[in-house]
Amino acid sequence: MPNFSEKMKKNSHWLIFIIAGTVLGFLFTQQFYLQKKIAGEVQPEGISDLAIQVLQLSKSNDGLKKEIAKLADEKQLSERSVFDRDTAASTLNKDIKKYQILTGDGAISGPGVEIKIERKMQLTQWVDLINAIRNIGAEGIAVNSRRIIFNQGITDKDLSPPYTIDVVGNADLLYGSLSRRGGILDEIAQGQVTQKDLLILPSAQAGNR
Protein backbone atom coordinates (compact mmCIF):
# COMPACT_ATOMS: atom_id res chain seq x y z
CA MET A 1 0.00 0.00 0.00
CA PRO A 2 1.49 3.37 -0.98
CA ASN A 3 2.33 5.47 2.07
CA PHE A 4 1.25 9.04 2.65
CA SER A 5 4.36 10.75 1.31
CA GLU A 6 4.24 8.72 -1.85
CA LYS A 7 0.60 9.68 -2.30
CA MET A 8 1.52 13.31 -1.73
CA LYS A 9 4.29 13.18 -4.30
CA LYS A 10 1.97 11.59 -6.79
CA ASN A 11 -0.72 14.26 -6.32
CA SER A 12 1.49 17.27 -5.61
CA HIS A 13 0.61 19.02 -8.87
CA TRP A 14 -3.06 18.85 -8.00
CA LEU A 15 -2.28 20.37 -4.61
CA ILE A 16 -0.42 23.23 -6.21
CA PHE A 17 -3.34 23.74 -8.54
CA ILE A 18 -5.78 23.88 -5.62
CA ILE A 19 -3.63 26.31 -3.60
CA ALA A 20 -3.08 28.56 -6.59
CA GLY A 21 -6.79 28.53 -7.39
CA THR A 22 -7.65 29.40 -3.81
CA VAL A 23 -5.20 32.29 -3.69
CA LEU A 24 -6.50 33.53 -7.02
CA GLY A 25 -10.09 33.31 -5.90
CA PHE A 26 -9.25 35.18 -2.72
CA LEU A 27 -7.56 37.99 -4.60
CA PHE A 28 -10.31 38.38 -7.15
CA THR A 29 -12.94 38.48 -4.43
CA GLN A 30 -11.05 41.03 -2.41
CA GLN A 31 -10.68 43.30 -5.45
CA PHE A 32 -14.35 42.94 -6.29
CA TYR A 33 -15.54 43.96 -2.84
CA LEU A 34 -13.14 46.86 -2.62
CA GLN A 35 -14.18 48.25 -6.01
CA LYS A 36 -17.81 47.82 -5.09
CA LYS A 37 -17.35 49.73 -1.85
CA ILE A 38 -15.51 52.58 -3.53
CA ALA A 39 -17.98 52.80 -6.43
CA GLY A 40 -20.93 52.70 -4.06
CA GLU A 41 -19.72 55.52 -1.89
CA VAL A 42 -17.78 57.67 -4.27
CA GLN A 43 -19.76 58.18 -7.47
CA PRO A 44 -18.37 61.22 -9.30
CA GLU A 45 -21.94 62.54 -9.42
CA GLY A 46 -22.29 62.02 -5.64
CA ILE A 47 -19.30 64.21 -4.86
CA SER A 48 -20.31 67.07 -7.15
CA ASP A 49 -23.91 66.83 -5.87
CA LEU A 50 -22.64 67.11 -2.30
CA ALA A 51 -20.27 69.94 -3.15
CA ILE A 52 -23.09 72.01 -4.66
CA GLN A 53 -25.34 71.27 -1.68
CA VAL A 54 -22.60 72.32 0.74
CA LEU A 55 -22.12 75.55 -1.23
CA GLN A 56 -25.86 76.28 -1.24
CA LEU A 57 -26.22 75.47 2.44
CA SER A 58 -23.24 77.61 3.34
CA LYS A 59 -24.64 80.55 1.35
CA SER A 60 -28.08 80.02 2.85
CA ASN A 61 -26.75 79.85 6.41
CA ASP A 62 -24.83 83.09 5.90
CA GLY A 63 -28.11 84.66 4.79
CA LEU A 64 -29.90 83.26 7.84
CA LYS A 65 -27.24 84.65 10.19
CA LYS A 66 -27.64 88.10 8.63
CA GLU A 67 -31.41 87.79 8.99
CA ILE A 68 -31.00 86.91 12.67
CA ALA A 69 -28.81 89.98 13.18
CA LYS A 70 -31.44 92.16 11.44
CA LEU A 71 -34.27 90.64 13.47
CA ALA A 72 -32.31 91.15 16.69
CA ASP A 73 -31.92 94.85 15.77
CA GLU A 74 -35.59 95.03 14.85
CA LYS A 75 -36.54 93.50 18.18
CA GLN A 76 -34.41 96.02 20.03
CA LEU A 77 -35.94 98.92 18.12
CA SER A 78 -39.43 97.51 18.64
CA GLU A 79 -38.83 97.29 22.39
CA ARG A 80 -37.75 100.93 22.41
CA SER A 81 -40.76 101.85 20.27
CA VAL A 82 -43.12 100.66 22.99
CA PHE A 83 -42.11 103.71 25.04
CA ASP A 84 -40.94 106.12 22.32
CA ARG A 85 -43.43 107.36 19.72
CA ASP A 86 -40.80 108.63 17.25
CA THR A 87 -38.87 105.35 17.26
CA ALA A 88 -42.15 103.49 16.88
CA ALA A 89 -43.12 105.51 13.82
CA SER A 90 -39.76 105.20 12.05
CA THR A 91 -39.34 101.47 12.81
CA LEU A 92 -42.82 100.63 11.63
CA ASN A 93 -42.42 102.79 8.56
CA LYS A 94 -39.18 101.05 7.62
CA ASP A 95 -40.72 97.59 8.02
CA ILE A 96 -43.82 98.54 6.07
CA LYS A 97 -41.70 99.73 3.16
CA LYS A 98 -39.67 96.50 3.16
CA TYR A 99 -42.77 94.31 2.98
CA GLN A 100 -44.44 96.56 0.43
CA ILE A 101 -41.43 95.98 -1.81
CA LEU A 102 -41.66 92.20 -1.34
CA THR A 103 -45.40 92.07 -1.97
CA GLY A 104 -45.34 94.45 -4.94
CA ASP A 105 -47.47 97.03 -3.13
CA GLY A 106 -45.77 99.99 -4.68
CA ALA A 107 -43.45 100.96 -7.50
CA ILE A 108 -39.77 100.38 -6.78
CA SER A 109 -36.44 101.52 -8.11
CA GLY A 110 -32.88 100.33 -7.81
CA PRO A 111 -29.89 98.89 -9.64
CA GLY A 112 -30.11 95.60 -11.45
CA VAL A 113 -30.12 94.06 -14.90
CA GLU A 114 -32.24 94.19 -18.01
CA ILE A 115 -32.71 91.05 -20.10
CA LYS A 116 -33.91 91.19 -23.68
CA ILE A 117 -35.32 88.07 -25.36
CA GLU A 118 -36.58 88.14 -28.93
CA ARG A 119 -38.13 84.73 -29.46
CA LYS A 120 -41.35 83.41 -27.96
CA MET A 121 -40.99 81.54 -24.71
CA GLN A 122 -43.11 78.64 -23.49
CA LEU A 123 -44.80 78.81 -20.10
CA THR A 124 -42.46 76.18 -18.61
CA GLN A 125 -39.48 78.26 -19.75
CA TRP A 126 -40.91 81.33 -18.02
CA VAL A 127 -41.46 79.37 -14.84
CA ASP A 128 -37.88 78.08 -14.92
CA LEU A 129 -36.40 81.48 -15.78
CA ILE A 130 -38.24 83.34 -13.00
CA ASN A 131 -37.24 80.57 -10.57
CA ALA A 132 -33.60 80.93 -11.55
CA ILE A 133 -33.74 84.73 -11.17
CA ARG A 134 -35.21 84.33 -7.68
CA ASN A 135 -32.50 81.82 -6.82
CA ILE A 136 -29.84 84.37 -7.74
CA GLY A 137 -31.53 86.96 -5.52
CA ALA A 138 -34.02 89.31 -7.17
CA GLU A 139 -35.76 91.95 -5.07
CA GLY A 140 -38.20 92.86 -7.83
CA ILE A 141 -39.01 91.52 -11.30
CA ALA A 142 -41.02 93.01 -14.16
CA VAL A 143 -41.62 91.66 -17.65
CA ASN A 144 -42.71 94.09 -20.37
CA SER A 145 -43.45 96.62 -17.62
CA ARG A 146 -45.67 94.18 -15.75
CA ARG A 147 -44.57 93.49 -12.18
CA ILE A 148 -44.20 89.79 -11.44
CA ILE A 149 -44.93 88.86 -7.85
CA PHE A 150 -44.60 85.44 -6.31
CA ASN A 151 -48.25 84.79 -5.49
CA GLN A 152 -49.85 85.67 -8.82
CA GLY A 153 -48.37 83.17 -11.24
CA ILE A 154 -47.84 83.50 -14.98
CA THR A 155 -50.00 82.23 -17.83
CA ASP A 156 -49.31 81.75 -21.53
CA LYS A 157 -51.56 84.64 -22.43
CA ASP A 158 -49.81 87.14 -20.19
CA LEU A 159 -46.70 87.85 -22.20
CA SER A 160 -45.77 88.34 -25.86
CA PRO A 161 -42.32 88.69 -27.43
CA PRO A 162 -40.05 90.55 -27.64
CA TYR A 163 -39.57 90.49 -23.89
CA THR A 164 -37.82 92.99 -21.66
CA ILE A 165 -37.23 91.62 -18.19
CA ASP A 166 -36.14 94.08 -15.52
CA VAL A 167 -34.65 92.69 -12.33
CA VAL A 168 -33.76 94.87 -9.34
CA GLY A 169 -31.06 93.52 -7.05
CA ASN A 170 -27.31 93.10 -6.84
CA ALA A 171 -26.41 94.06 -10.43
CA ASP A 172 -22.98 92.42 -10.46
CA LEU A 173 -24.28 89.15 -9.06
CA LEU A 174 -27.30 89.10 -11.36
CA TYR A 175 -25.22 89.91 -14.43
CA GLY A 176 -22.51 87.36 -13.60
CA SER A 177 -25.00 84.55 -12.93
CA LEU A 178 -27.29 85.25 -15.88
CA SER A 179 -24.63 85.86 -18.49
CA ARG A 180 -22.40 82.88 -17.72
CA ARG A 181 -22.03 80.25 -20.40
CA GLY A 182 -24.28 77.26 -19.94
CA GLY A 183 -26.43 79.23 -17.50
CA ILE A 184 -30.21 79.56 -17.52
CA LEU A 185 -30.33 82.14 -20.32
CA ASP A 186 -28.13 80.02 -22.55
CA GLU A 187 -30.26 76.96 -21.82
CA ILE A 188 -33.64 78.56 -22.25
CA ALA A 189 -33.68 81.71 -24.22
CA GLN A 190 -30.41 83.14 -25.49
CA GLY A 191 -31.21 86.54 -24.06
CA GLN A 192 -29.00 89.61 -23.80
CA VAL A 193 -28.21 90.89 -20.31
CA THR A 194 -27.19 94.45 -19.46
CA GLN A 195 -26.35 95.92 -16.10
CA LYS A 196 -28.39 98.98 -15.13
CA ASP A 197 -27.71 101.59 -12.46
CA LEU A 198 -31.36 102.44 -12.12
CA LEU A 199 -34.47 100.52 -13.02
CA ILE A 200 -38.03 101.49 -12.17
CA LEU A 201 -40.59 98.73 -11.72
CA PRO A 202 -44.32 99.42 -11.44
CA SER A 203 -46.43 98.17 -8.57
CA ALA A 204 -48.20 94.85 -9.02
CA GLN A 205 -51.54 96.63 -9.13
CA ALA A 206 -50.40 98.99 -11.91
CA GLY A 207 -49.07 96.11 -14.01
CA ASN A 208 -52.25 94.00 -13.89
CA ARG A 209 -54.63 94.10 -16.84
Partner 1 sequence: MQRKEKIKLSIWLLIIGMVVGLLVTAQLKSKPQRPSSTPLSNYTLLKENQENLTREQADLKNQISLLQNQILDIGQKLKKTQSSSRQQVDQLAVLKDKTGLTELRGKGVVITLDDSAQFPASSNSIAHAADMRDLVNFLWTQGVSGIAINNERIVASTSIDCIVNTVMINNTKMTTPFVMSVVSDNKDLKGYIEKNDNLTSIWQRVKNEGLKFAIIESDNIILPVYKGSLVVDYAQLQ
Residues 60-99 within binding reach of partner 1 (CB under 8 A): 60-61, 63-68, 71-72, 74-75, 78-79, 81-83, 85, 88-89, 92-93, 95-99
The answer to the question of residue 159 lying near partner 1 (CB under 8 A) is: no
What is d(CA 53, CA 102) in angstroms, rounded to the nearest whole number? 27
153 vs 110, 126, 158, 184, CA distance in Å?
A: 23, 10, 10, 20
CA distance linking residue 32 with residue 37, whole number of Å: 9
Residue 153's closest CA among 131, 180, 137?
Answer: 131
Q: Is 149 in the site for partner 1 (CB under 8 A)?
A: yes
Strands 163-169 and 138-143: antiparallel
Does 20 contact partner 1 by CB under 8 A?
yes
Under the criterion CB under 8 A, does residue 131 sit at the interface with partner 1? yes
| 189 contacts partner 1 (rule: CB under 8 A) | no
Cβ neighbours around 41 below 10 Å, total: 9
Question: Applying CB under 8 A, does 188 fall inside the site for partner 1?
Answer: no
Binding status of residue 42 toward partner 1 by CB under 8 A: yes
Question: Taking CB under 8 A as the criterion, which residues in 95-124 touch partner 1?
Answer: 95-103, 105-112, 123-124
